[in-house]
């Protein structure tokens, strides 16, 4: 405790040497531990070139759309054909030329047997 009560001379060779060592070690540590560069949070908006369709692009898209429409019409025709086939399968033909329909009610016995889901 007696050590702190005496006065310390800052211009003595020992004090100057301690201050120089502390300064040099601080500079050395600061050079070794470089700070991580910060990524800026605000980015400048980049100009994006807008795609302008050419005549060939428009013609290609029109052709693709017409192909899709034709495919949808073909599917509708196929569905109608399937409905006609199912109607014929659900009909009983008798030897005397008469027929009987076994149409079912949705949720009935035949519907549950036919549509398991």
Note whether residue 11 is domain-resident: no
Q: Are 91 and 100 in contact (CB under 8 A)?
A: yes
Higher-confidence residue of 61 and 15: namely 61
What pLDDT score does 102 carry? 62
- Total domain count for the chain? 1
- The overall average pLDDT reported for the chain is 80
Q: Are 90 and 102 in contact (CB under 8 A)?
A: yes
Does 17 have pLDDT greater than 80?
yes
For 81, the domain range is 53-114
Does 1 have pLDDT greater than 60?
no
Note whether residue 33 is domain-resident: no
What pLDDT score does 68 carry? 96
Note whether residue 75 is domain-resident: yes
Note whether residue 9 is domain-resident: no
At a CB cut-off of 8 Å and minimum separation 6, what does 57 contact? none
**Per-residue pLDDT tens over the stretch 48-62:** 888 899 999 999 999
Average pLDDT over residues 92-117: 67
């Amino acid at each position: 405790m007696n050590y702190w009560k005496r006065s310390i001379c800052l211009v003595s060779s020992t004090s100057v040497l301690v201050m120089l060592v502390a300064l040099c070690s601080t500079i050395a540590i600061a050079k070794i531990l470089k700070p991580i560069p910060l990524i800026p949070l605000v980015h400048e908006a980049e100009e994006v070139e807008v795609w302008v369709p050419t005549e060939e692009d428009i013609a290609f898209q029109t052709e693709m759309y017409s192909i899709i429409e034709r495919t949808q019409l073909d599917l509708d025709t196929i569905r109608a054909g399937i409905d006609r086939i199912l109607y014929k399968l659900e009909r009983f033909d008798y030897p005397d030329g008469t027929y009987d329909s076994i149409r079912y009610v949705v949720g009935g016995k035949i519907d549950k047997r036919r549509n398991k889901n």
